[in-house]
Amino acid sequence: MVFKSRRPTGEVLCPNAPGRDPIVSRILWLYGKERQNINTYRRCVYIHGTPEEWRLGSPASYGCIRMSSKDVIDLYNRVGVGADVEITRNSLPTSTPPASNTATAYRSTTGRGS
């Protein structure tokens, strides 16, 4: 499902749809908790699905964290409103927590379409 202004439009795109990069699947709107990321909510920085899954793993947005539709749907179903989210550049270590930015996730209340 494609979103516009955090509302589902009814349009459905398949993974790797050519020439399009809208927000799809689910939206987790981030609210920064640290000085360097305090403006994330106002800037509309999200964790969201993308139909351009072939671009995952490389910088391709202005701050959002893009995920495959399958993975962002799973994450959306696991975290609650107000959950703390840590964003890291690298893979998670097996023992010590990484240095990261923290934020609080706010799920889009209308973003349940798939």
Q: Where exactly are the structural domains of the chain? A: 3-89+98-107
The tally of CA atoms less than 13 A away on the side-chain side of residue 1 is 17
Model pLDDT for residues 37-96, shown as the tens digit of each residue? 888 888 888 888 888 888 888 877 777 888 888 999 999 898 888 888 887 777 666 665
Is the full-model pTM beyond 0.75? no
Query: Residue 106: helix, strand or coil by DSSP?
Result: strand
Query: At 112, is the pLDDT very low, low, confident or very high (cuts 50, 70, 90)?
Result: very low
Residue 114 has pLDDT above 50, yes or no: no
* The predicted structure's pLDDT at residue 40: 85
Cα radius of gyration (the chain): 14
- Mean pLDDT, to the nearest integer, of 7-36? 79
37 C-beta neighbours (distance < 10 Å), count: 18
Model pLDDT for residues 58-75, shown as the tens digit of each residue? 877 777 888 888 999 999
